[in-house]
Amino acid sequence: MNAIIISAVWGVLMMYAGFFLQSKRSIHLFAIVGICLMIACTAYEFLNGLPLFAIDTKGLLQYSNYALVFLMIVLISTLLYFILSGSEIDATGKSTTDLYALVFFILTGIAVVAGFRSLLMLFLGIEIVSIPLYVLAGSDKSNLKSNEAALKYFLMGSFSSGLMLMGIALIYGDVGSFYLDAIRAGFGMLTPMKGAGLLLILASMSFKVSAAPFHFWTPDVYDGSPTVFTSFMSTIVKSVAFYAFLTLFDHAFGKLHEHWKLLVAIIALATLLIGNITAVFQQSVKRMLAYSSIAQAGFMMLSVFAINTFAKQGLLLYFAAYSFATVGVFAVLSKMKDHSIDSFNGLSKSNPFIALSVLISLLSLAGIPLTAGFFAKYYMLLAVIREGGMVWLVVTAVICAAVSVYYYFRVIQAMYFKDSAEADGTEFSPYFKWAMVLNAILIIVLGIHPDLILNLI
Amino acid sequence: MFAAIDNFPALLIWIPLLGGLLSFFVKDAKQAKSSAIVFAASSLLVLLVSMNYAGKENLQVNQVSYEWLSAIGSNFGLILDGLTRSMSLLTAIVFLLVFLLVPSDQYKAAHKFYGLMLLAQCGLVGVFLATDALVFYLFWELALIPVYFLASIWGGEKRIKATFKFFIYTFIGSVLMLVAILYMYNKTNATSFGLSAFFNLNNTASEQYWLFGAFFIAFAIKMPLFPLHTWQPEAYEQSPAPVTMVLSSVMVKMGLFGLLRWIMPLFPLAVKEFNTSILVLIAFGIVYASLVAIYQDNIKRLIAYSSIAHIGLMAMGILTLKEVAVSGALIQMFNHGINILALWMIAFIIERQTGISSISKLGGLAKKAPVLSIFMVIAVLANVALPLTNSFVGEFMIFNGIYQSNKLLAAFAGLSIIFSAVYSLNMIKNVFYGTESQAASVVKDIRGVEILIFIILTVLILIVGIYPQPFFQMFSDALGLILTKYNS
């Protein structure tokens, strides 16, 4: 609850801050203060169980511990993102404050999604997240690809929102309520109307998380958008979509799990295969990361398939592991001259600390033990095994994880085993270096003690 | 902390880990080398002391468990029993001798080199000591990562491709193993990863078949068994010599060890079902690898194929399920590590001095390097399993067991011994004797530390060959656990 209000207010403040704050550094600092304030207030709400602002939402929004931990993970990822990619945000577009303001409005949407207890709020939240994102995707106005990405994203996004609305309408028509609890109570039997509604919502949610076969927009949009916003889109926003997916299907449609779980299993399987296999052939790191984000979505889909305790706990861990690692790699990538794998050549010699941090991030994405990524994947696999009867899905998933090693390690090979032909002019500030090292330490700590997050829930 | 006997297994892991991390901060190559030697030696020392305690207070098994992820039922459980003691002893000896042999100026950025080597040691020892499946899996992967970096940074020309192939192979095997581990963990009602909990699971036959398959592929890739061996010759050839030494004397034992510690006790039904067909496959692989070895011109590839044959033989011994063959394999795992280390060290010395690893370009080295050639002869004879050498004890027992279970198979696998004599003696003849090559003019004899290393190796070869009894005493408890489900 705190997060909604603070992010909305801070977004507005951010817009006006352009008048008062002249230097980019102070704008950047102002944004970081806002995020820190949000983290502090969310932590306060988590510890005390009471928000600072008591507002009667008529049960439309409720913040469980699970929701608050999720919110904290998203906010901490955003903080890391601001710290690591701040200078890139400054470099994109003319009015930095507007861009920061849009990010804060997205956070408002995220906070709404985190607490939704009604389909209405879900739709509202997702739209609040999406609309500023369309703008961010096209924020590099002089770049044709950025414009293309924004248009594509907008068209496809609004289409899937339409599908979702249709689905919601059908379910409302059958059950007579938007509230998740009421829907759950009314979902004892599968009627054609419910089935159609469920399918439409499944399709539109799959679109939002870029699961196959609804993933076609992803590579182009991720590739065309300014790298710094690709990073935000593919980590934090994707986490929110998954959180909504899991919560909705767990709370509202949980009783019909037997009916839709095979469908989700097939989607997960297709996503894993398509994401991983296509990523192998990419020459640009940015596009590779776009496909890798589809591949990782395949793993996260496993939690929607299983919806048991392991799945719910593990998904939060997955958000943290995936966001920290991806934000780190993207931050370095956005400072490179071009996005080819060769631009990473010899990074271990010129910038050993940066290379080490990228290495740890990539190992985490590949799911190597002692990094957060390992336990994230571990929980997803365990959740499916716990569900029983779907060992083939687990075996495919781990083989896909082995395939993913192939493309993540190409970057590692470039950094450590190849020499760069010419001295790369890329400069990293000490501030950035320390932030990267901190990010890597976070990944390792979560890899050794995943219970730091799991015990909170 | 140091006083408590219980801490020995943990110390064996912490010492190389600490040494490895520290080494990254030592910039001077010589200092890095000496600190690596100190850490490797103290590992060995701790192990020897722990054996002494085992004798005195009748602590055959030294088991500890630290709380780690108690929420998911994984404990940092470690054990020092007969099996793991011999494996950790081998690891400690190999790393110490490798550090002693390799000059500090051999590789650029030496501090990183030694650091990664020590981290690899930590991973390997962890694999051997773990009693918790999750911890076992973690160390299984952790042993791989430093070795991958070592081989890819300091290796030969085609290193990146060769080591990547090695990495992918092993990784695919290990993720399948992870699925099997998770499956069993789920069957314990998500309460424990402990070996003993898995031991009591009573999986049905069909479950065991799948679980066995997943574990066995992981271990077979690591050993490697035919037809999953294709990563090995390239990886051995392209890796820097110290890494090859570690790979072939210790790391391939991870597969055999896994067979003994995890597969044999956990999946008796599956082992009984499949062992005959696997035995036939391995026997074929052994003869195949020996034949290929005869036609190799590169010393490194020759040793690599010879290693495939010998490892296959040990795997056969284990899968016959005969007590004599299993204990033969147990002692042979240690012996093979020593013998092949000696062979690699000789190949390393020759290549360092002459820059040549092709057998046909070498010849007549014995005149210039008589001492080296004496040690070479000893190592080769041990590799051929001549009586009085260590391998004779092990391979004799293994063949005894194979003969008991299937006479035809024993005769067929026995061919590999003959072939082994052919390629090994041929190598000696062509490298050390025969017409003098150009290489013979540059070669210098070994001295100083190198002689000391080979004396240690020779002593180990002969002592185990003449008086293997202490080893068998050490193995008696481990043997019980391995075969308990087969004796009925």
**Which tens digit of pLDDT belongs to each residue from A236-288?**
999 999 999 999 999 888 888 888 888 999 999 999 999 999 999 988 889 99
Cβ-based contacts of B164 with chain A (< 8 Å):
409, 413
Cβ distance of B182 and A405 shorter than 8 Å: no
Nearest residue to A254 (alpha-carbon basis) of A327, A215, A305: A305
Considering only the beta carbons, identify the residue of B69, B141, B176 that sits closest to A368.
Answer: B141
Is B183 near chain A, with CB under 8 Å? yes
Cβ distance of A402 and B168 shorter than 8 Å: yes
- Contact between residue B452 and residue B459 where contact means Cβ atoms under 8 Å apart: no
pLDDT for the residue numbered B60 = 59
Evaluate if residue A191 carries a pLDDT over 60: yes
Positive/negative CA dihedral, A285, A290, A293, A294: negative
Cβ distance of A399 and B71 shorter than 8 Å: no
pLDDT for the residue numbered A245 = 92
Give the whole-number percent of chain A exceeding pLDDT 90: 44
Domain that holds residue B409: 275-488
- Give the number of beta-carbon pairs within 8 Å between A and B: 66
What's the Cα-to-Cα distance from A344 to each of A349, A357, A362, B177, rounded to whole Å?
A: 11, 13, 13, 33
Q: How confident is the model at residue A74 (pLDDT cuts 50, 70, 90)?
A: very high
Query: Is residue B447, in this structure, part of any structural domain at all?
Result: yes
What's the Cα-to-Cα distance from A88 to each of A16, A19, A84, A227, rounded to whole Å?
A: 21, 21, 9, 9
Cβ distance of B153 and A417 shorter than 8 Å: yes
Chain A residues with at least one Cβ partner in B under 8 Å = 310, 363, 368-370, 378, 381-382, 385-386, 391, 394-395, 398-399, 401-402, 405-406, 409, 413, 416-417, 449-451, 454-455
Cβ-based contacts of A406 with chain B (< 8 Å):
168
Considering only the beta carbons, identify the residue of A405, A416, A450 that sits closest to B168.
Answer: A405
Is B76 near chain A, with CB under 8 Å? no
Successive 10-residue mean pLDDT values, chain B, 488 residues: 61 87 84 87 86 56 75 80 86 90 82 89 91 90 89 83 88 90 86 83 85 90 85 84 88 90 88 88 90 88 88 89 88 90 88 82 80 87 86 88 88 88 87 78 79 89 87 79 76
Query: Is residue B289, in this structure, part of any structural domain at all?
Result: yes
Cβ-based contacts of A387 with chain B (< 8 Å):
none
Nearest residue to B438 (alpha-carbon basis) of B382, B361, B351: B361
Is B217 near chain A, with CB under 8 Å? no
pLDDT for the residue numbered B123 = 92
Considering only the beta carbons, identify the residue of A369, A402, A449 that sits closest to B137.
Answer: A369
Find residue B78's DSSP bridge partners.
B64, B130
Cβ distance of A416 and B137 shorter than 8 Å: no
How far, rounded to the nearest angstrom, does the alpha carbon of residue B481 sit from its chain's CA centroid?
21
Of the candidate ranges A39-48, A75-84, B89-98, B155-164, the one whose mean pLDDT is the lowest: B155-164
pLDDT for the residue numbered B3 = 43
**Which candidate in B160, B179, B207, B239 is best for mutational testing of the A interface (most A CBs within 10 A)?**
B179
Evaluate if residue A457 carries a pLDDT over 90: no
* Beta-sheet pairing, B74-80 with B62-69: antiparallel
Cβ-based contacts of B183 with chain A (< 8 Å):
385, 391
Q: Specify the 3-state DSSP secondary structure of B4.
A: coil
Considering only the beta carbons, identify the residue of A370, A391, A417 that sits closest to B160.
Answer: A417
Evaluate if residue A229 carries a pLDDT over 50: yes
Q: Give the distance from residue B400's alpha carbon to the nearest chain A alpha carbon, in angstroms.
A: 39
Tokens of B295: 């036609």
Cβ-based contacts of A399 with chain B (< 8 Å):
172, 175
Q: What is the ipTM of this complex?
A: 0.89
pLDDT for the residue numbered B363 = 78
Q: How confident is the model at residue A205 (pLDDT cuts 50, 70, 90)?
A: very high
Whole-number Å distance between alpha carbons of B214 and B156: 33
pLDDT for the residue numbered B151 = 87
Query: Is residue B242, in this structure, part of any structural domain at all?
Result: no
Q: Give the distance from residue B114's alpha carbon to the nearest chain A alpha carbon, in angstroms.
A: 17
**Which candidate in B70, B75, B178, B231 is best for mutational testing of the A interface (most A CBs within 10 A)?**
B178
Cβ distance of B179 and A398 shorter than 8 Å: yes
Tell the residue number behind the tokens 């290929």, with chain if given.
Answer: B292
Task: Work out how many domains chain B is built from and give that number.
Answer: 1
How far, rounded to the nearest angstrom, does the alpha carbon of residue A400 sit from its chain's CA centroid?
20
Is B209 near chain A, with CB under 8 Å? no
Query: Is residue B474, in this structure, part of any structural domain at all?
Result: yes
pLDDT digits (tens, 9 = 90+) for A348-375: 888 888 889 999 999 999 988 889 999 9
Whole-number Å distance between alpha carbons of B271 and B212: 8
Q: Which of residues 421-460 of B touch A (CB under 8 A)?
A: none
pLDDT for the residue numbered A294 = 92
Cβ-based contacts of B167 with chain A (< 8 Å):
405, 409
- Contact between residue A108 and residue A61 where contact means Cβ atoms under 8 Å apart: no
Find residue A340's DSSP bridge partners.
A284
Cis omega before residue B233 (within 30°)? no
3-state SS string for chain A: CHHHHHHHHHHHHHHHHHHHCCCHHHHHHHHHHHHHHHHHHHHHHHHHCCCCCCCCCCCCECCCHHHHHHHHHHHHHHHHHHHHHHHHHHHCCCCHHHHHHHHHHHHHHHHHHHCECEHHHHHHHHHHHHHHHHHHHCCCCCCHHHHHHHHHHHHHHHHHHHHHHHHHHHHHHHHCCCEHHHHHHHCCCCCHHHHHHHHHHHHHHHHHCCCCCCCCHHHHHHHHCCHHHHHHHHHHHHHHHHHHHHHHHHHCCHHHHHHHHHHHHHHHHHHHHHHHHHHHCCCEHHHHHHHHHHHHHHHHHHHHHHCCHHHHHHHHHHHHHHHHHHHHHHHHHCCCCCCEHHHHCCHHHHCHHHHHHHHHHHHHHHCCCCCHHHHHHHHHHHHHHHHCCCHHHHHHHHHHHHHHHHHHHHHHHHHHHCCCCCCCCCCCCHHHHHHHHHHHHHHHHHHHCCHHHHCCC
Q: Give the distance from residue A274's alpha carbon to the nearest chain B alpha carbon, in angstroms.
A: 19
pLDDT for the residue numbered A423 = 58
What's the Cα-to-Cα distance from B303 to each of A103, B61, B295, B310, rounded to whole Å?
A: 61, 35, 12, 10
Q: How confident is the model at residue A334 (pLDDT cuts 50, 70, 90)?
A: confident
